[in-house]
Amino acid sequence: MPFKHNAARRRIPKMRFRVTNWSSYEAGLRRRGSLTFWVDEDAIAGWRAAPRTTPGGQPRYSDLAIETALLVRVVFHQPLRQTEGLLGSLLELLGLDLPVPDHTTLSRRSAKLTPILRAALPDGPVHLILDSTGLKVYGAGEWLADKLGARQPRRWRKLHLCVDAASSTIVGAVLTTTEAGDASQVGPLLEQTSGPITTVLADGAYDGEPIYQTIAQRDAGAAVVIPPRATAVSSAMAETAPTQRDRHLQRIAATGRMGWQRETKYGRRAKGETAMARYRGILGGHLHARTLPAQQTEAMIAVTALNRMLDAGRPASVHRRWSAG
pLDDT digit string (tens) for 169-215? 999 999 999 999 999 999 999 999 888 899 999 999 999 899 999 99
| pLDDT at residue 277, rounded to an integer | 92
Per-residue b or e along 178-197, where b marks 16 or more CB atoms closer than 10 Å to that residue's CB = eebebbebbeebbeebeeeb
Residues whose CB falls within 8 Å of the CB of residue 166, separated by 6 or more in sequence, listed in order: 122, 126, 127
Q: Which domains does the chain have, with CATH numbers?
A: 22-110 (no CATH), 126-287 (3.30.420)
Q: Is the pLDDT of residue 231 over 70?
A: yes
Contact criterion met (CB below 8 Å) for 17 and 317: yes
Q: Is the pLDDT of residue 318 over 90?
A: no
Q: Which residue has the higher pLDDT, 62 or 230?
A: 62
For residue 314, the SS3 value is: coil
Can you give the pTM of this predicted structure? 0.86
Nearest to 44, CA basis, from 10, 9, 5, 93? 93
pLDDT digit string (tens) for 73-116? 999 999 999 999 999 999 999 999 999 999 999 999 999 998 87
Per-residue b or e along 143-166, where b marks 16 or more CB atoms closer than 10 Å to that residue's CB = eeeeeeeeeeeebebbbbbbbbbe
